[in-house]
């Protein structure tokens, strides 16, 4: 958990805004450190976390979380963490097997026409009762629910359209953020406009723009324009979007960062803010 980032976002495990959709977008860089941060942050906050891990294995996230002082295996055993290992689940669908193993969350790989309905149902059942809208009752009382996705771009590489990914995000946000007053954090990797294919009307940049309109907070991670630097690994543009009666207001601040083994340092070479 990165204390400097918590200070920037004015949040802590004991006090944070509920009902937020936080979008982590990355271009020509690596933003996985932010996923690890939010995972450890919400587990420390005693939130019930549904983690759609579509990029790495459980052992990978567990090893990094261990360095941050969080035990994922223990969180799973207690029922606080519901972990979907996307790589493993995908193999069970794509490779013929005599016995069906795993959950039905990745059924869209067998039946693309069904969209991401099965994945949404997995999230819904993980964070709510099957028929109601209340938190699942456990031996321990968990706080507000959290949906964490790493990353939504993978769904497009598996043949899902950007429109279907946006629909999935919209329904998850309505359920988690509005209905349950929990939080949602999703990472998306995007290409620059110049890199998008001319005929690609629904590329990664189109997806990022659509998700930006849905979220309340954006952390956009980019590499330095000057190239590699030993002391600074990249920059993060933090953008707060607030809806008011007079319209939508956006405030932006730019920070540079360096990732360490057990955290990250954030530097503000200069802040810029804008109200739109």
If one counts every other C-beta atom within 10 angstroms of the C-beta of residue 31, the result is: 22
Per-residue pLDDT at 90 = 77
- pLDDT reading at 221 higher than 60: yes
Half-sphere exposure of 20 (CA within 13 A, CB side): 17
Q: Compute how many other C-beta atoms are within 10 angstroms of the C-beta atom of residue 200.
A: 13
pLDDT for 200: 57
Residue 39 exposed, middle or buried by CB count within 10 Å (0-12, 13-18, 19+): buried
Span of 48-62, 168-182, 203-217 with lowest mean pLDDT: 203-217
What is the band of 57 on the pLDDT scale with cuts at 50, 70, 90? very high
Residue bearing tokens 């149902």: 121
Task: Give the per-residue pLDDT at 99.
Answer: 59
- Min mean pLDDT across 51-65, 108-122, 213-227 is at 108-122
CA-wise closest residue to 20 among 181, 135, 223, 144: 181
265 confidence band (pLDDT: 50, 70, 90)? confident
pLDDT for position 159: 84
Q: What is the pLDDT of residue 63?
A: 94
User: Distance between CA 187 and CA 241 in Å, rounded?
Assistant: 17
In whole angstroms, give the CA distance from residue 29 to residue 181: 32
| pTM metric for this prediction | 0.87
What gap in Å lies between CA 249 and CA 253, rounded to an integer? 14
109-138 mean pLDDT? 72
Quote the CA–CA distance of 218 and 22 in Å, as a whole number.
6
Domain borders along the chain are 29-216
pLDDT of 61-111, one tens digit each? 999 999 989 999 999 999 999 999 988 887 766 676 655 555 688 888 877
* Whether the predicted pLDDT of 162 surpasses 80: yes
Span 181-190, mean pLDDT? 94
- When mean pLDDT is compared across 75-89, 125-139, 233-247, the lowest value belongs to 125-139
Which is more confidently placed, 6 or 90? 6
Tell me the DSSP string of 190-216: ---TTTS-TT-TT-HHHHHHHHHHH-S
Among the ranges 169-183, 191-205, 256-270, which has the highest mean pLDDT value? 169-183
- Residue 245: pLDDT over 60: no
Q: How far apart are CA 229 and CA 214, in angstroms?
A: 34
Distance CA 4, CA 34 (A): 12
More confident site: 217 or 224? 217
Q: Are strands 234-244 and 247-260 parallel, antiparallel or unpaired?
A: antiparallel
pLDDT of residue 225: 75
Angle between helices 204-214 and 162-173 (to 10 degrees): 20
Q: Is the dihedral of CA 77, 80, 85, 89 positive or negative?
A: positive
Asked whether residue 195 carries a pLDDT value surpassing 60, the answer given is no
Taking the C-alpha atoms of residue 135 and residue 110, their distance in angstroms, rounded to an integer, is 30
Task: Name the average pLDDT for the chain.
Answer: 83
Q: Which residues contact 134 (CB under 8 A, 6 or more apart)?
A: 128
Least confident of 41-55, 76-90, 148-162, 230-244: 230-244
Q: State the CATH architecture for 29-216.
A: 3-Layer(aba) Sandwich (3.40)
**Mean pLDDT along residues 203-213:** 89
Q: What is the largest CA-CA distance in the chain?
A: 60
């Amino acid at each position: 958990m990165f204390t400097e980032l918590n200070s920037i976002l004015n949040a802590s495990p004991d006090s944070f805004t509920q009902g937020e959709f936080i979008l982590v977008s990355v271009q020509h860089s690596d933003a996985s450190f932010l996923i690890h941060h939010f995972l450890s942050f919400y587990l420390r906050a005693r939130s019930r976390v549904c983690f759609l891990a579509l990029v790495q294995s459980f052992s990978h996230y567990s090893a990094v979380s261990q360095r941050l002082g969080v035990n994922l295996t223990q969180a799973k055993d207690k029922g606080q963490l519901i972990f979907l290992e996307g790589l493993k689940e995908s193999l069970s669908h794509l490779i013929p097997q005599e016995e069906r193993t795993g959950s039905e969350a990745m059924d869209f790989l067998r039946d693309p026409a069904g969209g991401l309905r099965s994945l949404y149902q997995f999230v819904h059942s993980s964070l709510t009762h099957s028929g109601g809208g209340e938190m699942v009752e456990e031996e321990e009382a968990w706080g507000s629910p959290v949906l964490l996705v790493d990353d939504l771009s993978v769904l497009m590489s598996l043949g899902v359209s950007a429109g279907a990914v946006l629909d999935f995000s919209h329904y998850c946000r309505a359920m988690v953020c509005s209905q349950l007053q929990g939080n949602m954090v999703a990472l998306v990797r995007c290409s620059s406009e110049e890199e998008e294919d001319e005929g690609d009307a629904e590329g990664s940049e189109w997806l990022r723009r659509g998700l930006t309109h849905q979220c309340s907070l954006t952390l956009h991670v980019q590499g330095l324009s000057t190239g590699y630097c030993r002391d600074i690994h990249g920059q993060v543009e933090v953008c707060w979007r607030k809806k008011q009666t007079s319209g939508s207001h956006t405030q932006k601040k730019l920070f540079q960062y360096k990732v360490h083994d057990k955290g990250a340092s954030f530097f503000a070479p200069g802040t810029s803010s804008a109200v739109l």
